[in-house]
Amino acid sequence: MLQTSWSRCWGGICAQGDGSALMQKLVVAYEEPQRKYHTVQHLTECLVLLSRYLHVAVEPAEVEIALWFHDAIYDVTGHENEARSADWAVEELTAAGVSAERAERVRQHILATRHAALPQGQDQQLLVDIDLAILGAPRDRFEEYESQVRAEYAWVPEPLFRLKRAEVLSEFLARQPIYNTAPLREALERQARENLAYSLQQLRGGG
């Protein structure tokens, strides 16, 4: 699946060559030992889901390559992961002959996954919805996700983790809606709200 996705988006952004060496670098990055959630599993889940909704995108190849890079650099104690990932993407795409305008759009897409502000434009909305699709996953996968996030932050004391995690999840739950893309909202919104409410109850109630 990964190779199919890569070939589709690499050609779609008019990059030179096949980019196979870069693809392998990215896969290796997603396999770094400090990662428990932001792994090849997360990347694959995102790409599989995107493949069902490529028709929603204005520039589907840009959304897809942005997904490949969106967690390419992941330091669990860092605060510039998305910016550094975006810089890496622009560097590699520019070297592969991708236009500056397209590379800049990919940069902005990746930065949108910081979730600090609402995404702008149809493609960013789709990308962010795909990244947040885990919130609307079936309950068993959502619980696995929460456990994976906790494992990534294993160095954080439990009371502090519960407090900060509840803040993050509350912010997502407060969004009206959580998902900005109509088909993803229809598919995931209800389950996401149920999952978030459940997790918040666990965090705040000591469950």
Range of the domain at 177: 135-207
Dist. CA 107–CA 169, nearest whole Å:
26
CB 167 within 8 A of CB 59: no
pLDDT value at residue 207:
54
Number of domains in the chain: 2
Indicate the pLDDT class of residue 117, thresholds 50, 70 and 90.
confident
Q: Report the percent of the chain where pLDDT is more than 70.
A: 99
- Averaged pLDDT of the chain: 96
Is residue 170 located within the same domain as residue 156?
Answer: yes
Q: Is the pLDDT of residue 65 over 70?
A: yes
- Within 10 angstroms of residue 28's Cβ, the number of other Cβ atoms is 10
Cis before 33 (ω within 30): no
Dist. CA 85–CA 177, nearest whole Å:
27
Six token digits for residue 64? 């897809």
pLDDT value at residue 87:
98
Dist. CA 173–CA 166, nearest whole Å:
10
DSSP class of residue 80?
-
pLDDT value at residue 156:
96
Q: Which residues contact 37 (CB under 8 A, 6 or more apart)?
A: 145, 148, 149, 151, 152
Is residue 103 located within the same domain as residue 170?
Answer: no
Last residue of a domain, one of 131, 162, 196: 131
Q: Where are the alpha helices (DSSP H) in the chain?
A: 2-12, 20-30, 40-53, 60-69, 81-95, 100-112, 121-131, 139-152, 158-174, 182-205
Indicate the pLDDT class of residue 140, thresholds 50, 70 and 90.
very high
Is residue 20 located within the same domain as residue 83?
Answer: yes
Condensed to tens digits (0 to 9), the pLDDT of residues 147-196 reads 999 999 999 999 999 999 999 999 999 999 999 999 999 999 999 999 99
Condensed to tens digits (0 to 9), the pLDDT of residues 5-29 reads 999 999 999 999 999 999 999 999 9
Is residue 118 located within the same domain as residue 161?
Answer: no
pLDDT value at residue 206:
58
Dist. CA 64–CA 51, nearest whole Å:
9
Is residue 1 located within the same domain as residue 74?
Answer: yes
Last residue of a domain, one of 131, 161, 192: 131
SS3 state at 112? helix
Is residue 59 located within the same domain as residue 82?
Answer: yes
Indicate the pLDDT class of residue 116, thresholds 50, 70 and 90.
confident
Interior angle at CA 31, CA 94 and CA 145, nearest 5: 110
